[in-house]
A and B are shown apart, each in its own frame.
Chain A
Amino acid sequence: MNFPIISSLILLPSIGALFLFFINSKNINGIKYVSLFVSIINFLISIYLWLIFDQSSYEFQFVESRVWIKDFINYKVGVDGISILFIILTTFITPLCILSVNSSIKNRLKEFLIAILLMETLMIGVFCSLDLVIFYLFFEGGLIPMFLIIGIWGGERRVYSAFKFFLFTLLGSVLMLIAVISIYWIAGTTDVEELYKLGIDPKYQNLLWLAFFSSFAVKTPMWPVHTWLPDAHVEAPTAGSVLLAAILLKMAGYGFIRFSIGLFPVASEYFVPFIFVISLIAIIYTSLVALMQDDMKKLIAYSSVAHMGFVTLGLFTFTQQGVEGGIFQMISHGIVSAALFFSVGVVYDRTHSRRINDYGGLVNVMPKYSILLMVFTLGSLGLPGTTGFIGEFLILMGTFKKSFLVAAIASLGVILGAAYMLWLYKRVVFGELTNQKLLKIIDLNKVELSILTLLALSIIFFGFYPDPFSNTYSVSVENFINEYNDKLNNFNLQNQ
Chain B
Amino acid sequence: MINLFYISTEIFLSLSILILLLIGVFKNKSELFIYNFTCIILLVGLAININLNPQFPIDLFNNSYKIDYFTTLIKSVILISAFLVMLCSLNYVKQNDILKIEYPILILSSILGMLVMVSSNDLIVFYVGLELQSLALYVLAAFKKDNILSSESGLKYFILSALSSGLLLYGCSLIYGFSSSTNFDLIYQNSESIEYGIIFGIVFILVGLAFKITAVPFHMWAPDVYDGSPTSVTVIFAILPKIAALTVFINFLYGPFLEMFDQWQAIIIFLSIGSMVFGAVAAIGQKKLKRLIAYSSISHMGFALAGLSVGTNEGIQNSIIYLIIYLIMNIAFFCCLFMLKRENQYFDKVEDLSGLSKNHPLLSLSLMIILFSLAGIPPLAGFFAKFYIFTAVIEQSMYFLAIVGLLSTVIAAFYYIRLIKVMYFDEQKEKYDLNHSIGLKMILVISSTIILIYFVNPNIINNFVLDITLI
Binding site for B on A (CB under 8 A): 68-70, 133, 136-137, 140-141, 143-144, 147-148, 151-152, 158-159, 162-163, 166-167, 170-171, 174-175, 177-178, 181-182, 184-185
Tell me whether A141 and B421 are in contact in the complex, defined as CB-CB below 8 angstroms, given that A174-B406, A178-B394, A178-B402 are known contacts.
Answer: no
Binding site for A on B (CB under 8 A): 372, 377-379, 383, 387, 390-391, 394-395, 399, 402-403, 406-407, 409-410, 413-414, 417-418, 420-421, 424-425, 455, 458-459, 462-463
Q: List 28 A-B contacts (CB under 8 A).
A: A68-B458, A69-B462, A70-B459, A70-B463, A140-B378, A144-B372, A144-B377, A151-B420, A151-B425, A152-B425, A163-B418, A166-B417, A167-B413, A167-B414, A170-B377, A170-B413, A174-B406, A174-B407, A174-B409, A175-B403, A177-B390, A178-B394, A178-B403, A178-B406, A181-B387, A181-B390, A181-B394, A182-B394
Closest B residue, CB atoms, query A154: B425
Cα distance, A166 to B416, chains bound together (Å): 12
* Interface contacts beyond A177-B390, A181-B394: sample of 10 additional A-B pairs, CB < 8 Å, sorted by A: A68-B458, A151-B424, A158-B425, A170-B413, A174-B406, A177-B387, A178-B394, A178-B399, A178-B406, A185-B395
Which residues of chain A have C-beta atoms less than 8 A from B417's C-beta?
Answer: 147, 163, 166
Which residues of chain B have C-beta atoms less than 8 A from A171's C-beta?
Answer: 407, 410
Shortest CB-to-CB span from A436 to chain B, Å, is 33
Q: Which 6 A-B pairs give the minimum distances between C-beta atoms?
A: A174-B406, A137-B378, A181-B394, A140-B378, A171-B410, A137-B379
Cα distance, A182 to B395, chains bound together (Å): 7
A-B CB pair tally, cutoff 8 Å: 76
Q: Is the CB of A137 within 8 A of B413?
A: no
Cα distance, A143 to B377, chains bound together (Å): 8
Which residues of chain A have C-beta atoms less than 8 A from B387's C-beta?
Answer: 133, 177, 181
Closest B residue, CB atoms, query A68: B458
Tell me whether A175 and B377 are in contact in the complex, defined as CB-CB below 8 angstroms, given that A68-B458, A158-B425, A184-B391 are known contacts.
Answer: no
Cα distance, A162 to B424, chains bound together (Å): 12
Closest A residue, CB atoms, query B413: A170
Which residue, of A136, A148, A167, A181, has the highest number of chain B Cβ atoms within 10 A?
A181
Closest B residue, CB atoms, query A69: B458
Q: Is the CB of A174 within 8 A of B425?
A: no
Cα distance, A181 to B310, chains bound together (Å): 15
Which residues of chain B have C-beta atoms less than 8 A from A175's C-beta?
Answer: 403, 406
Closest A residue, CB atoms, query B391: A181
Closest A residue, CB atoms, query B386: A177
Q: Is the CB of B402 within 8 A of A163?
A: no
Closest B residue, CB atoms, query A122: B379
Cα distance, A70 to B417, chains bound together (Å): 32
Q: Is the CB of B379 within 8 A of A141?
A: yes
Which residues of chain A have C-beta atoms less than 8 A from B463's C-beta?
Answer: 70
Q: Is the CB of B406 within 8 A of A177?
A: yes
Shortest CB-to-CB span from A144 to chain B, Å, is 6
Contact of B377 among A140, A158, A181 (CB under 8 A): A140
Which residues of chain A have C-beta atoms less than 8 A from B378's C-beta?
Answer: 136-137, 140-141
Q: Is the CB of B424 within 8 A of A152?
A: yes
Which residue, of A143, A177, A182, has the highest number of chain B Cβ atoms within 10 A?
A177
Cα distance, A163 to B394, chains bound together (Å): 29
Contact of B421 among A159, A181, A185 (CB under 8 A): A159
Cα distance, A174 to B391, chains bound together (Å): 13
Tell me whether A162 and B421 are in contact in the complex, defined as CB-CB below 8 angstroms, given that A144-B377, A167-B414, A177-B387 are known contacts.
Answer: yes
Which residues of chain A have C-beta atoms less than 8 A from B383's C-beta?
Answer: 137, 140
Cα distance, A133 to B417, chains bound together (Å): 24
Q: Is the CB of A185 within 8 A of B394?
A: yes
Which residues of chain A have C-beta atoms less than 8 A from B406's C-beta?
Answer: 174-175, 177-178
Cα distance, A410 to B227, chains bound together (Å): 59
Closest A residue, CB atoms, query B369: A144
Closest A residue, CB atoms, query B396: A185
Closest B residue, CB atoms, query A140: B378
Shortest CB-to-CB span from B405 to chain A, Å, is 9
Shortest CB-to-CB span from B366 to chain A, Å, is 13
Cα distance, A166 to B406, chains bound together (Å): 15
Cα distance, A425 to B409, chains bound together (Å): 44
Cα distance, A137 to B379, chains bound together (Å): 6
Which residues of chain A have C-beta atoms less than 8 A from B425's C-beta?
Answer: 151-152, 158-159, 162
Cα distance, A162 to B383, chains bound together (Å): 21
Shortest CB-to-CB span from B5 to chain A, Å, is 34
Q: Is the CB of A167 within 8 A of B410?
A: yes
